[in-house]
């Protein structure tokens, strides 16, 4: 039987060796009113996910389809106990990258080995 906990530890070690600490941020929103209905919209606090991230990797030109993967998109591998969300933002070398897709490698028992984040500027 495959040992997913051991694979997770290996993935964490590799991502930590070649990557660095990173924080994904989901900006909060201010309270307001829905312009269509006039109903109040409550404020929402921001959220953060800390973890380890690899350097940015480029998609092969054959993977770029102009829709799901666009020119300029990159990806990285991310390790954390918390799950990031699509739309979170990561700052790398002074540039903001938005998470547009997340691929999880998770066992049937729920052990997350790693996540692949598709990023767009």
Residue 93 confidence (pLDDT) = 87
Tell me what percent of the residues of the chain surpass a pLDDT of 90. Answer: 92
CA–CA distance, 12 with 54 (Å, rounded to integer)? 10
pLDDT band at 1; cut points 50, 70, 90: confident
Contacts for 90 with CB less than 8 Å, ≥ 6 apart: 22, 23, 24, 25, 53, 96, 97, 98, 99, 117, 119
Query: Tens of pLDDT along 43-85?
Result: 988 999 999 999 999 999 999 999 999 999 999 999 999 999 9
CB 82 within 8 A of CB 102: no
- pTM for this entry: 0.87
Handedness of CA 60, 79, 68, 44 (dihedral sign): negative
């Amino acid at each position: 039987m495959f040992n997913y906990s051991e694979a997770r530890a290996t993935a964490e070690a590799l991502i930590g060796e070649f990557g660095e600490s990173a924080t994904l941020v989901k900006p909060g929103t201010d309270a307001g009113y829905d312009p269509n209905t006039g109903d109040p919209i409550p404020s929402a606090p921001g959220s953060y996910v800390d973890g380890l991230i690899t350097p940015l990797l480029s998609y092969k030109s054959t993977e770029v389809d102009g829709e799901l993967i666009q020119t300029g998109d990159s990806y990285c591998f991310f390790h954390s106990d918390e799950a990031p969300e699509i739309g979170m933002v990561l700052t790398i070398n002074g540039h903001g990258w938005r998470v547009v897709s997340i691929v999880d490698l998770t066992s049937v028992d729920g052990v997350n080995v790693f996540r692949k984040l598709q990023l767009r500027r």
